[in-house]
Amino acid sequence: MITSFKPADTHEPSGENPFLKEYTTPFGVPPFSEIKAAHFLPAIEKGIEEQNKEIEAIIINKQQPDFENTIAALDYSGSLIRKVNSVFGNLNSANTNKELQGIAKQIAPMLSAHNDNINLNPKLFEKIKTVFDKRDKLNLTGEQMRLLTEKYKDFVRGGAALSGEKQERFRQINKEMSVLTLQFGENVLNETNDFKLVIENTDDLAGLTPSLIEQGAETARDAGLEGKWVYTLHNPSIMPFLQYSAIRSLREKIYNAYVNRGNNGNKNDNKSLILQIVTLRLEKAKLLGYESHAAFILEENMAKNADNVEKLLMQLWEPALKRAGAEARELQAIIDREGGNFTLQPWDWRYYAEKLRKEKYDLDDEELKPYFQLENVKQGVFTVANKLYGITFTERKDIPVYHPDAVAYEVKEANGDHIGILFMDFYPRESKRGGAWMNSFRKQYIQNGKNISPVITTVCNFSKPTATQPSLLTFDETSTLFHEFGHALHGLLSNSTYYSLTGTSVPRDFVELPSQIMENWASEPEVLKMYAKHYLTGETIPQELIDKLQNSRYFNQGFETVEYLAASFLDMGYHDLKEISFTDVSEFEKKTLSGIGLIPEITSRYRSTYFNHIFSGGYSSGYYSYIWAAILDADAFEAFRVNGLFDKETAASFRQNILSRGGTEDPMILYRKFRGADPDITPLLKRRGLLEE
């Protein structure tokens, strides 16, 4: 029976807290139907108590500090906190409510203080340093040496070497930021949910496709507005509306609502939060001896420093901006030709780009979507994974899920051995934040010789099925599904020992390699013929449409690259500051983007006030990671192009050297082991059509 998470009141419910006993569910997945909101806080408190005892046991151990009794013991500690927080964090992202959001604001400072108590414990740090100082004499494996080195660095970066007064300020900063970043994300979700574009006149539906009109009617019915049409700021609603609506004033209205989320001077306004967050981040970095937050973050990434990031971004920015300018002129020419007496604006871009795509390539999303039924695309990624790695995916209806939309799969090796569990959750709802992501309810690791199998989740926001048709994806959404599935493989195929190093526990600019390389298979003609079937007839996508897709692969790449890079520059603008000299977030954003020459027809993919990646997620000073990893994935996929899309040896090498290794070795070393050389940027420039002819 499928069960779903239904939060109860926050008073302690009767019965035993499910977090405080062994799960009896299949494969030990969380028993969502048993978990109530009131269970989280007591379980976190118990987890803190237990880990404090584990830390104390390490400290009072009379034996000489060594890898097992200090480093490994520390890594295995805190299992109850991980157990509880993984469930809480996933639910607060994918199925939240006011109750959970309130609990989050209690839990965040508690965990911040607890982590600081560990990182700033002088006796514990002394033991870690003792082991670190004699590391070359301990005959450690490569993975053990990596864990020791990372733990030592974590403590130094966590303030262990600071003096008492500075440590207290360090604690306060972490506590404040834990709440501020939560509030930022909550505000964005509120702003996204609060806006509805209500259409009452059928004339105002001009240009919209039949499926989009039906979607709007169903959204209206769900909102109690029978007989009207409603469009929202969730991507499956706003993006096709901007693409097809012929009513310019409505495009402008919904677009401005989208780009001004968190910037409306109301209770959800994020500007003061941004100023507080960047100020605290800089202060923390300076306490640790870094000149900027970016310097602190990038030291641990492949990029190493802000200069390298800037160099990469500029290498792409100039050709992308040139191409985007040419694209803008083409769109303006259509406006002029049609007698439009106005200059192209950001809310016009998608509408006229769609016209241009039809004109140039005789291709539009409505022609493609019938071949990309969600169920078929899902089977497509399963087939690709099976052909590459021999693994299989079997739906399990006996496994509890946290929401009725989520589906559970057991993942097995070719020989039938259990690998892990994969949840997939595809549709938007008000309890789910926007975007798409992968996370884990349990990571893979090995303890006492026993392999702990992973429980992974992928979450997306695709259009729901309507009364007359199933969920049909655009090709961009299809690529998103492949992308998140690549992250899932990184978590599922992990084969490492220590929790801190397994799965996606890698630098931000490496973590996107497994996800982005998967996108390549989505558009390969051989693969399209495997999964792209018409949802009504079962007909395989015709070669003519595949040719159109291939021919249009460079289309709008200037726009897409420029809007992404602009957001990357904005991220670095905030976080490479050596001093906070601005007080007006809007002015700072405007100055930063005009400074790089962003053309007025294009808006940064994320404006500051809804830039969840950097102000509520883990991508501060790291949004560039997607393009850094794009260099890796374009170069890595060349190995499959040369050897064969499903070449077993190449796939085995990618699994062995990238997917299974997590953070057990320096990522560039892992990459070289797979590719045999450093990555080359040329395949990426070629793929995006940015090479000079």
Q: How far is CA 393 from CA 200, 398, 404, 407, 422, in A?
A: 45, 15, 19, 12, 9
**Distance from C-alpha of 38 to C-alpha of 19, rounded to nearest angstrom:** 11
- Of 366, 368, 685, nearest to 554 by C-alpha is 685
484 catalytic, yes or no? yes
What's the pLDDT at 689? Answer: 85
Residue 178 has pLDDT above 60, yes or no: yes
In the chain, where the domains are located? 18-119+121-157, 195-259, 271-363+557-623, 370-551+626-687
Instruction: Find the mean pLDDT for residues 663-668.
Output: 97
Residue 241 has pLDDT above 80, yes or no: yes
- Label residue 6 by pLDDT band (50, 70, 90): very low
Q: Three-state DSSP class for 545?
A: helix
435: left (phi over 0), alpha (psi -120 to 50) or beta: left
Q: Residue 52 carries which side chain, given as an amino acid letter?
A: N
Q: Residue 660 carries which side chain, given as an amino acid letter?
A: S
Q: How far is CA 597 from CA 249, 285, 318, 565, 594, in A?
A: 27, 29, 10, 12, 5
**Distance from C-alpha of 249 to C-alpha of 262, rounded to nearest angstrom:** 22
- Label residue 2 by pLDDT band (50, 70, 90): very low
Tens-place pLDDT, residues 678-692: 999 999 988 888 876
Q: What is the pTM of this model?
A: 0.93
Residue 78 has pLDDT above 50, yes or no: yes
High-pLDDT (> 90) share of the chain, %: 95
Q: Which residues are CB-contacts of 586 (< 8 A; sequence separation ≥ 6)?
A: 263, 271, 608
Residue 9 has pLDDT above 70, yes or no: no
Q: Which two tokens stand for residue 69?
A: 């009794």
What's the pLDDT at 687? Answer: 87
What's the pLDDT at 1? Answer: 28
Q: Three-state DSSP class for 424?
A: strand
Tens-place pLDDT, residues 94-120: 999 999 999 999 999 999 999 999 999
Instruction: Find the mean pLDDT for residues 396-416.
Output: 98
Residue 466 CB-density burial (10 A; 0-12 exposed, 13-18 middle, 19+ buried):
middle
- Label residue 590 by pLDDT band (50, 70, 90): very high
- Label residue 536 by pLDDT band (50, 70, 90): very high
Tens-place pLDDT, residues 13-25: 556 999 999 999 9
- Of 383, 393, 441, nearest to 413 by C-alpha is 393
What's the pLDDT at 692? Answer: 63
Instruction: Find the mean pLDDT for residues 274-286.
Output: 98
Spell 553-592 as b/e; 16+ CB within 10 A means b: eebbbbbbbbbbbbbbbbbbbbbbbeeeebeebeebbeeb
Average pLDDT, the chain: 95
- Of 150, 152, 146, 507, nearest to 302 by C-alpha is 507
Please tell me the CATH code under which domain 370-551+626-687 is placed.
1.10.1370.40
Q: Which residues are CB-contacts of 254 (< 8 A; sequence separation ≥ 6)?
A: 195, 197, 231, 233, 238, 241, 242, 347
Instruction: Find the mean pLDDT for residues 82-97.
Output: 97
Please tell me the CATH code under which domain 18-119+121-157 is placed.
1.20.1050.40
Question: Do 105 and 122 meet the contact criterion of CB atoms below 8 Å apart?
Answer: no
Q: Which of 186, 366, 484, 519 is catalytic?
A: 484
Residue 3 has pLDDT above 60, yes or no: no
Considering the domain delimited by 271-363+557-623, tell me its CATH architecture: Orthogonal Bundle (1.10)
What's the pLDDT at 13? Answer: 53
Tens-place pLDDT, residues 318-353: 999 999 999 999 999 999 999 999 999 999 999 999
What's the pLDDT at 326? Answer: 97
Q: Do domains 271-363+557-623 and 370-551+626-687 have the same CATH topology?
A: yes
Tens-place pLDDT, residues 548-559: 999 999 999 999
**Distance from C-alpha of 216 to C-alpha of 209, rounded to nearest angstrom:** 11
Cα-flanking dihedrals φ and ψ of residue 439, to 5°?
Answer: -150, 180
DSSP structure class, residue 541: P
Tens-place pLDDT, residues 19-56: 999 999 999 999 999 999 999 999 999 999 999 999 99
- Label residue 364 by pLDDT band (50, 70, 90): confident
- Label residue 4 by pLDDT band (50, 70, 90): very low
User: Can you name the residues that pair with 459 across neighbouring β-strands?
Assistant: 425, 437
